[in-house]
Every structure is written in C-alpha cells, then in structure tokens.
Amino acid sequence: MSEPSDKIPILFIVNPFSGVGQKKQIAYHLEKKLDLTKYTYKVSYTAHPRHATELSEEAVKEGYRVIVAVGGDGTVNETARPLIGTEIALGIIPSGSGNGLARHLQIPSDIDRAIRTINLSQTRKIDIVEINDQVFLSIAGVGFDAHVAEKFARQSQRGFWGYVRVAVREYFRYRPKKFVLFVDGKKIKRRALFISFANSDQFGYNTSIAPNASIDDGMVDVCIARKTSLLKTLFWAPLLLFRKIDKAPYMEIIRAREVDIKQSKKKINLDGEPVKLGKRLHIHVVPASLNVIVP
C-alpha cells in the first residue's frame, strides 16, 4: 500500500481471463471515474486460479478497507473469502460471463456506473454459504449443472450463447442421477437432472433459478429439477427469464438452513467454477457474514 493517508485504501483485483468486458482498460476508467478525493487505490492482476484469494489476503494484512473484484462470479468468490466475518467491504465490477451475484444485487454491468456505485460506499450485509471446506456466495449445483460448468470451462467461446451451446449438446448425453438429501433433517430421495443451492436468485445471464431467494434471509433455496424431453425443456426454459421457473412442473424448490447431500459424482458447480468436493456434501448458511458495496 502507498504512503499513509486519510483517504480510504482500496484494492482492485482484476481477472484478465474472465468472461467478457473491458478489463484491460480498468486503470483508465478508475482515473476518470473513481472519487480520488476519497480513495487511494492500487490495481492487481490475477495470474492463476485462486490468485485472487492470495491477493485479497495480503490486502487485508496491509490494511485495505475496500477490496474490489473485477471479473465474474468465480473471481468475486475468490476475492471475498478473506473478507468473510470482517468489516472490510467487497466491491464488484462485473465483467464475467454470467455475473449472477452482481445481477442479484443490481450492480451495474457498465464499468463507469459500477465505479460510481463504489464511490457512494453504500454497504449491505449478505449471507454466505459454506459447503464442506469451501464457500459460495450466489449459487452451487450438482448433477447436470456441475457437468455443464466443467465442459464450459474447457471451451474458448464465453458468454450466454457459449453456455447454451454446451448445455444443449450435453443434454442429450446426460442421464439423471440419484441423490439422497437431508433438508433441515428431513430425508428426501430424488432422481434429478440437477440440484442447485441458491443463495441468490440468479443462475447467471439474468436467468432466475430461485425467484423467491433472498441473499440476506439466512436460507438457501434447494432447486431440484427433473429431466424432461428437450422440446418440453425449451418450452419451459423462458420462465427462467421471467422469474417464474418455480411454476414449471419439473421444478421443486425447498427452502432450508442446512442440507446434507449424497451424490454419485464428486463434481460441483461453485459460483460458476467446476470443483471436485466429494460425494457427501454438507451445506449451511452463515447469515450476515459479508459486507458488500451495493447501489
């Protein structure tokens, strides 16, 4: 960090590889739009997976009071981890593919407008969700959700249509899996296409998988989807955009504080990133544990 000052020290952690956007021009935008009478800032760029967490940890030790993630949900997740349980504020300049958390919090996708949001310094305490030894802020998923996240991460085409292309291609090949869940202690068995655990309402790309989810209610929405024909799926899919997917006959949503789940695979989609965690997962909400700058 630079010389001592009465200005608020703020670090921007930029993932130059995530999604789409104008990340390479971030320094220009900061000089033009960041309130330099209020902030002193530094920009750091990630070079490898989990680097954002390392940079964020160092920033906490150095006394930064605001740390901003410039990237997608994965970058936001990594940046936020060292800030959980502290009063240090997380800022978000969304520039990934899905930007689920930013969309739920109504943080502008335009860089200049996102910087103006940071200038206003309005914060909100949100829940995070622990899953085994990991955390997620917006959404996690098993089954087809995790399968598509893994395939999508390997391809060069990003954005909504890149995701749709992978999802449609894999839909024909994927067979639903058996899951055993304990939802707040109640045992449930399901054969499902996927199960999503939604802290926010967002699946990404402005699609709402859990229309009634709230990020500060101490609950996670367990969204269980059965597989239907591709034709029926395409017929009901637009409900994701209209926040009505809970009306679809193949979707079941249960609200919970704590979930245990047993699955046949080890893969999971964790805020848009494919991760191997294990066949047994323990999920629980940690209420009001992260301070986020919001409009």
Higher pLDDT residue, 256 or 168? Answer: 256
Going by pLDDT thresholds of 50, 70 and 90, the confidence category of residue 24 is low
CB 261 within 8 A of CB 195: yes
pLDDT at 186: 96
Going by pLDDT thresholds of 50, 70 and 90, the confidence category of residue 23 is low
Whole-number percent of the chain with pLDDT over 70: 95
Count the neighbouring beta carbons within 10 Å of the beta carbon of residue 275.
Answer: 19
**Helices and strands (H and E) in the chain: how many:** 8, 18
Range ranked top by mean pLDDT from 21-25, 34-38, 151-155: 34-38
Prediction pTM value:
0.88
* Domains delineated in the chain: 8-121 (3.40.50.10330), 134-287 (2.60.200.40)
- How much is the average pLDDT of 56-73? 96
pLDDT at 270: 93
Q: Note the helical H segments in the chain.
A: 26-33, 51-62, 73-80, 100-104, 111-120, 144-154, 159-171, 230-236
3-state SS class at 144: helix
Q: Is the pLDDT of residue 288 over 80?
A: yes
pLDDT at 129: 98
Contacts of 36 (CB under 8 A, 6+ apart): none
Going by pLDDT thresholds of 50, 70 and 90, the confidence category of residue 2 is very low
The Cα–Cα gap between 177 and 165 comes to 22
Q: Is the pLDDT of residue 289 over 80?
A: yes
Higher pLDDT residue, 70 or 148? Answer: 70
Going by pLDDT thresholds of 50, 70 and 90, the confidence category of residue 21 is low
Q: What is the radius of gyration, based on Cα positions, of the chain?
A: 19
Q: Of 143-147, 178-182, 204-208, 260-264, which range is least confident? A: 204-208
For all residues of the chain together, what is the average pLDDT?
A: 90
- How much is the average pLDDT of 214-230? 94
Contacts of 84 (CB under 8 A, 6+ apart): 128, 135, 286, 289, 290
The Cα–Cα gap between 26 and 6 comes to 24
Higher pLDDT residue, 238 or 47? Answer: 47
Q: Is the pLDDT of residue 182 over 70?
A: yes
Q: Is the pLDDT of residue 126 over 90?
A: yes
Higher pLDDT residue, 157 or 170? Answer: 170
Query: Hey, what's the torsion of the CAs at 96, 101, 102, 105, to 10 degrees?
Result: 170
One-character DSSP codes across 38-86: TEEEEEEE--STTHHHHHHHHHHHHT-SEEEEEESHHHHHHHHGGGTTS
Q: Of 41-45, 78-82, 151-155, which range is least confident? A: 151-155
Q: What are phi and psi of 72, to 5 degrees?
A: -95, -165
Going by pLDDT thresholds of 50, 70 and 90, the confidence category of residue 239 is confident
Higher pLDDT residue, 203 or 155? Answer: 203
- How much is the average pLDDT of 140-145? 92
